[in-house]
């Protein structure tokens, strides 16, 4: 048996509203929000007493989804926010954007920070890594 599709990527955040605003500025749309709790969630995730709010963000083409989760119970476990990209288990989500410079400027207004610098991958591609809410690392690529 093979997989049918990739459903979403999940990221835990400490400020759901700020994360929604950041990814909306990137161009994603809020598809929906829900409160998650109950024994089914405890069993699925392997934690007891889960209470969290989630927001599902979707890319404009409707194919990519990002699930943002803010836990109220059990309490969030702290992690360093400025980890380098080569830490085991560190994830990034890569997005293609129309205008890399404009996107960087808009995301900076939401507290985002460029990690390194904008680099040219090849003659048609500019790329960078960017840190957003809760230390999330995203990749941004512009193809021209």
Domain 9-73 has CATH 3.30.390.50: no
> Residue ranges per domain, the chain?
9-73, 92-143
Task: Look over the chain and give the mean of its residue pLDDT values, rounded to a whole number.
Answer: 92
> pLDDT at residue 1 above 70?
no
> How far is 15 from 65, CA to CA, in rounded Å?
19
- Residues 6 or more apart whose CB falls under 8 angstroms from that of 88 comprise none
Query: What pLDDT does residue 135 have?
Result: 87
Determine the CATH number of domain 92-143.
Answer: 3.10.180.10
- The Cα-based distances of 88 to 2, 30, 47, 92 in angstroms read 26, 30, 22, 12
Q: What is the pLDDT of residues 90-111, one digit of tens each?
A: 778 999 999 999 999 999 999 9
On the CB side of 96, how many CA atoms lie within 13 Å of its CA? 7
Q: What is the pLDDT of residues 126-143, one digit of tens each?
A: 999 999 988 889 999 999
Burial class (CB within 10 angstroms; exposed 0-12, middle 13-18, buried 19+) of 70: buried
Size of the chain in residues: 144
Same fold, 9-73 and 92-143: yes
Mean pLDDT computed over 9-38: 96
Tokens of 90: 């560190």
Query: What pLDDT does residue 128 have?
Result: 95
Q: What is the pLDDT of residues 25-59, one digit of tens each?
A: 999 999 999 999 999 999 999 999 999 999 999 99
């Amino acid at each position: 048996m093979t997989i049918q599709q990739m459903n979403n990527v999940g990221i835990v955040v400490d400020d759901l509203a700020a994360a929604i605003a950041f990814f909306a500025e990137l161009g994603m749309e809020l598809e929906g929000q829900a409160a998650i709790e109950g024994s089914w969630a405890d069993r699925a995730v392997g934690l007891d007493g889960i209470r969290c709010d989630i927001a599902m963000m979707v890319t404009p083409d409707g194919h990519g989804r990002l699930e943002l989760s803010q836990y109220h119970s059990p309490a969030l476990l702290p992690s360093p926010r400025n980890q380098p990209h080569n830490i085991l288990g560190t994830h990034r989500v890569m997005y293609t954007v129309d205008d890399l410079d404009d996107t960087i400027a808009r995301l900076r207004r939401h507290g985002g920070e460029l990690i390194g610098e904008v680099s040219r991958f090849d003659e048609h591609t500019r790329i960078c890594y960017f840190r957003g809410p809760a230390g999330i690392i995203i990749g941004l690529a512009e193809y021209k």
